[in-house]
Structure 1
Amino acid sequence: MKEDGQTMSDDFINLTIEDLSDEHLCCIIRSRKPHKGIEAKRLWLSDRLKEGHVFRKLNAKAAVFIEYAPLERAWVPIIGDNYYYIYCLWVSGDYKGKGYGKLLMEYCLTEAKEKGRSGVCMLGAKRQKSWLSDQSFAKRFGFEVVDDTDRGYELLARSFDGTISSFGKNVKNEEIENKALTIYYDMQCPYVYQSIETIKLHCERNDVPVSFIPVDTLQKAKELPCVFNNWCVFYKGRFETVNLLDKSYLERILKK
């Protein structure tokens, strides 16, 4: 029960380098033992927080959080002056429908305005993708489609001063020379580690060539030949998805 004067916003904390090792990272993974994906994310965050990355979470063991960063330092192939980029805004389970998502989005937009940012942008799609934040929710806050790709991905932005952000020209390529299954990734998402392990095992058992390419610098992220939020998949030289793959999804791609 809240004491007099307390509000829902008091329930949130912003991660710092000092408390990063102790805080729950809000993802749906449940494990009492050390989880390699979560530890990899902690390492990734330890560097990003120094660059202005914000991880704001409900002060509970729950998947209620937002992650965003200055666009010029965000590991995505998106360009624009003086914007914030939202990697992820997530509210799950019993916490849905209680206003937490609204509070998180408003916090990001308010901070952007207070710091003189030109706007905020995020990755979306014409049809909602399971690993992307809800773009219909974002549009309630004034986000609009400002760029798109031939494969149905969209860049949503809320501009405060009329300037726009856009996908880098390289994003529109959506093709690479390597015809084998090729996956670009970084360790921002704790699920990336286990998705890689699943794919490696399946490809080894079925003699499927696969190439994993770590995106381990900002420059590599900005120069990627497709949209990217922490993961992207190519097969037969063509871009397929930014969704993480389970066995059934992988098999569907390999049948093409």
Structure 2
Amino acid sequence: MMAEFINLTSENIQREHLCCIIRSKKIHPGVEAKRQWLSDRLKEGHVFRKLNTKSTVFIEYAPLETAWVPIEGDNYIYLYCLWVTGSDTKKGYGRELLEYCLENAKKSGKSGVCMLGSKRQKAWLANQEFMKKFGFEVVDTTDNDYELLALSFDKSKPRFTKKAKKSKIENQELTIYYDMQCPFIYQNIESLKEYCDQNHIMAFFKQVHSLDEAKDLPCVFNNYGIFYKGSFQTVNLINPESLTKILNK
């Protein structure tokens, strides 16, 4: 039997499983925050395609013009996430999902597809080696080892904004930018706020509420970004232990 995939729509999003967090019927605040964020994005061309089971097998992408990332480029698709985990790995699902995205982009007359990467694979970014097998290549970089990967259909290239490449802010205290695209973010932010309060750590948590705010961010961003002492640190969602390491640098 062939695998069945479905796309989330305004009609089914309230009842469909969102893949990232496997839960019972009990309401999870991170999942519901993601559901609301995604509901607002669907009308902008955002695509969330998933295996039609309660599992973590999905791809998520959007037109670059409406993608909440500080990346510039004409007529591209931005790929936020491609994730296959657990017993569903090595079944070809990742390939099927990516091929769907690429075919969708070509049929829509797009110039290509791009995604955030890094010289060293980050835990919360799509597998770069897998993407490179399809022809994705590095088209822009930052001084802190982040990369913009793209598969171009017409030789054009997207790029990081100048502000994102600078990766500096005036505030020297711990500063975390985030949106609610990922269902893990809500609980992560709550955990870090509690840790900072308990340990008397001055911290600024800045939620990104709009496309304009996202395009104007001072760092590379997939849905999360951390600064300390005015310098960008990581796009990885971190726990208190990892935060302590950053603060002790």
TM-score of the pair, normalised by structure 1: 0.96
Q: Which position in structure 1 is the counterpart of 2:167?
A: 174
1:56-98 Cα distance to aligned partner (Å, 9 max, x none): 0000000000000000000000011000000000000000000
Note if 1:65 corresponds to 2:58.
yes
Alignment of 1:30-69 (within 5 A): 30-69=23-62
Aligned partners of 1:200, 1:210: CA distance in 2, in Å? 8
1:30 offset after TM fit, Å? 3.0
1:141 offset after TM fit, Å? 0.5
Does the CA contact (< 8 Å) of 2:169 and 2:218 recur in 1? yes
Between 123-132 and 28-37, the greater mean CA deviation after superposition:
28-37
Name the SS of the counterpart of 1:98 in structure 2. Answer: coil
1:33 offset after TM fit, Å? 1.4
Note if 1:254 corresponds to 2:247.
yes
Between 22-31 and 36-45, the greater mean CA deviation after superposition:
22-31
Identity %: 63
Q: Which position in structure 2 is the counterpart of 1:141?
A: 134
Does the CA contact (< 8 Å) of 2:21 and 2:183 recur in 1? no
Note if 1:114 corresponds to 2:107.
yes
| Number of residue pairs aligned between Structure 1 and Structure 2 | 249
Q: Which position in structure 2 is the counterpart of 1:214?
A: 207
Aligned partners of 2:95, 2:165: CA distance in 1, in Å? 32
Aligned partners of 2:12, 2:23: CA distance in 1, in Å? 20
TM-score of the pair, normalised by structure 2: 0.98
Name the SS of the counterpart of 1:156 in structure 2. Answer: strand
In structure 1, the gaps of 5 or more residues are none
Q: CA RMSD in A?
A: 0.8
Note if 1:18 corresponds to 2:8.
no
Match of 1:150 among 137, 143, 152: 143
Note if 1:127 corresponds to 2:95.
no
Q: Which position in structure 2 is the counterpart of 1:94?
A: 87
Note if 1:241 corresponds to 2:237.
no
Note if 1:76 corresponds to 2:69.
yes
Q: Which position in structure 2 is the counterpart of 1:160?
A: 153
Name the SS of the counterpart of 1:212 in structure 2. Answer: strand
